[in-house]
Amino acid sequence: MSDKYDVVVVGSGPGGYVAAIRCAQLGLTTACVEQWEDAKDKAVLGGTCLNVGCIPSKALLDSSHKYIEAKEHFDVHGISTGKVAMDVKQMQARKDKIVMQLTGGIAGLFKANGVTSIRGHGKVLAGKKVEVTAADGKSSILDADNIIIAAGSQVINIPPAPVDNETIVDSTGALEFNAVPKRLGVIGAGVIGLELGSVWSRLGAEVVVLEALEDFLPAMDVQIAKETKKILTKQGLDIRLGCRVTGTEVTGAKKKSVKVSFSSGDEDSTETFDKLIVAVGRKPNSENLLSADCGVNMDERGFIFVDDYCATEAPGVFAIGDVVRGPMLAHKASEEGVMVAERIVGKKTAMNYDCIPNVIYTHPEVASVGKTEQELKAAGEDFKVGVFPFVASGRALAANDSDGMVKLIADSNTDRILGCHIVGPSAADLVQQIVIAMEFGSSSEDIALTVFGHPTLSEAVHEAALAANGHAIHIQNKRPRKK
């Protein structure tokens, strides 16, 4: 194995492995350094996303959704199932099989594309060198013409709720429960808290979500956030806003419960749970990542400074994904990886950061792209809004899945689409239609004049575009809204 490469990638998550493969496709000798190990101390690729993040959580979300559908919603179709039971062990085994298949798939793709996989912790040194420290403590040095830092992120822990991975767990531990807790507490009403809370709520847990902020999903469009909270509350999630956790106490001889203290306004309260999930966010994996003299700088929170093309202040060194500015999203990291790989070989590839979709995989899903109504109002922009509820969609009604709405926002003067926000069935896939439209600078009229198949959920996007100009067919039109 050569110690000199055209490119060394640090990290094999969705940013790192995509960057490494694209570099190899472009003819660059490429190595990817990854320290992740599974429970059996076996090296695995894929980072947080594939091992303990996006993929396993979606597997559990899908299994739990099928369970609650069979238990509570099949009868409306005339289907009688008798007693429905969930085998948690089998559910977890299915999740683990999916993870193994996908992480093994990356290893296969590395081999097919000629990427060298190196096991160990990567640290960027001066002179475009990477120190690799193996699990046994032995280290080696890799020389590179270019370095791509894709180290990812880790969960944030908070002093009032120290994780013990038994009673108090982080998002990783919440994926590994071997039984459904009778009463489950979740600290944080963000993406992770809502998704994991939904999983165990569907399986029978009484779930209480404690959120320190007064607003629910403040980064989302306010109208969509309100509708989402209403739907999730109807499903059984007890979402309490303005609740700041001040302490926890694990009780019982076998640590079978945890008492959580929290304050809400001037009132102090306590709740007791069988399990507690701490899901208050993530931070960049920047500890022991950079030598002091490597020329790469980061802020006080550990985010690496980069320009619009993910170049750091050190020539030939790039950083992508969760360790740099912007949303911590796997698809954002992947596209940054492609951009950097192509710029290394001289292409002028760039990313449109205004067209990055965001998704919460509850059911119904919540998805968005572009500006929210509150952002546009704050900026004093003239805009118009079209809203179409799924209850008016024939396809959604036929599927007994009609909660939510599509909201499309366009510039009042140019009609250019500024944003789209959806809570409803298949929102993650529907919003992608608008992502493509925005990438090409489309107007709401462009969507309105496009022929959509019938009956489809996509027609809700079509009708929202029509509604933005007061032309909706299947709902009563309102006068276009402005700031």
> For 36-63, what is each residue's pLDDT tens digit?
988 788 889 999 999 999 999 999 999 9
Percentage of residues in the chain with pLDDT exceeding 90? 95
Q: Per the domain annotation, does 30 fall within a domain?
A: yes
Claim to verify: residue 102 and residue 143 sit in the same structural domain? yes
Task: Identify the pLDDT of residue 180.
Answer: 98
Domain boundary (351, 373, 390) is at 351
Task: Identify the pLDDT of residue 2.
Answer: 52
Claim to verify: residue 12 and residue 143 sit in the same structural domain? yes
Quote the DSSP letter at residue 120: S
CB 362 within 8 A of CB 192: no
> What CATH number does residue 441 fall under?
3.30.390.30
Q: What is the mean pLDDT of residues 8-35?
A: 98
Task: Identify the pLDDT of residue 38.
Answer: 84
CB 346 within 8 A of CB 329: no
Q: What is the mean pLDDT of residues 411-421?
A: 98
Domain boundary (351, 373, 403) is at 351
Percentage of residues in the chain with pLDDT exceeding 70? 98
Claim to verify: residue 306 and residue 255 sit in the same structural domain? no
Task: Identify the pLDDT of residue 479.
Answer: 66
| Residue span of the structural domain in which 128 resides | 4-155+283-351
Q: Is the pLDDT of residue 483 over 50?
A: no
Q: How sure is the predictor about 1, in pLDDT bands with cuts at 50, 70 and 90?
A: very low
Q: Per the domain annotation, does 115 fall within a domain?
A: yes
Per residue in 135-188, pLDDT (tens digit) is 999 999 999 999 999 999 999 999 999 999 999 999 999 999 999 999 999 999
* More confident of the two residues 90 and 37: 90
User: What is the phi/psi pair of residue 341, to 5°?
Assistant: -55, -45
Q: What is the mean pLDDT of residues 244-265?
A: 92
Claim to verify: residue 126 and residue 254 sit in the same structural domain? no
pTM metric for this prediction: 0.95
Q: Per the domain annotation, does 476 fall within a domain?
A: no
User: Can you tell me the distance from the alpha carbon of 279 to that of 53, in angstroms, rounded to the nearest whole number?
Assistant: 12
> How many residues does the structure list for the chain?
483
Task: Identify the pLDDT of residue 377.
Answer: 97
Claim to verify: residue 394 and residue 432 sit in the same structural domain? yes
Residue type, 166: E
Claim to verify: residue 269 and residue 298 sit in the same structural domain? no
- Positive/negative CA dihedral, 396, 401, 404, 407: negative
Per residue in 202-244, pLDDT (tens digit) is 999 999 999 999 999 999 999 999 999 999 999 999 999 999 9
Q: Per the domain annotation, does 60 fall within a domain?
A: yes
Claim to verify: residue 251 and residue 180 sit in the same structural domain? yes
Task: Identify the pLDDT of residue 320.
Answer: 98
Q: Per the domain annotation, does 162 fall within a domain?
A: no
Q: Per the domain annotation, does 363 fall within a domain?
A: yes
Claim to verify: residue 412 and residue 310 sit in the same structural domain? no
Q: How sure is the predictor about 480, in pLDDT bands with cuts at 50, 70 and 90?
A: low
Other CB atoms closer than 10 Å to residue 448's CB: what's the count? 20
Catalytic residues: 454
Other CB atoms closer than 10 Å to residue 270's CB: what's the count? 12
Claim to verify: residue 19 and residue 130 sit in the same structural domain? yes
Claim to verify: residue 317 and residue 220 sit in the same structural domain? no
User: Can you tell me the distance from the alpha carbon of 465 to that of 469, in angstroms, rounded to the nearest whole number?
Assistant: 7
Domain boundary (335, 351, 367) is at 351
Q: Is the pLDDT of residue 436 over 70?
A: yes
> What CATH number does residue 185 fall under?
3.50.50.60
Mean pLDDT value across the chain: 96
Cα angle for residues 103, 304, 358 (degrees, 5° grid): 55
Q: Per the domain annotation, does 482 fall within a domain?
A: no
User: b or e along 210-249 (b: 16 or more beta carbons within 10 Å of the residue's beta carbon)?
Assistant: bbbeeebbeebbbbbbebbbebbeebebbbeeebebeebe
Claim to verify: residue 20 and residue 75 sit in the same structural domain? yes
Q: Per the domain annotation, does 473 fall within a domain?
A: no
User: Can you tell me the distance from the alpha carbon of 183 to that of 273, in angstroms, rounded to the nearest whole number?
Assistant: 5
Claim to verify: residue 341 and residue 391 sit in the same structural domain? no
Per residue in 284-334, pLDDT (tens digit) is 999 999 999 999 999 999 999 999 999 999 999 999 999 999 999 999 999
Q: What is the enclosing helix (H) or strand (E) of 3? A: none
Give the count of domains, the chain.
3
Beta strand spans in 252-404 (E):
257-264, 267-273, 275-278, 282-284, 317-319, 358-360, 365-370, 383-389
Task: Identify the pLDDT of residue 449.
Answer: 98
User: Can you tell me the distance from the alpha carbon of 207 to that of 228, in angstroms, rounded to the nearest whole number?
Assistant: 16
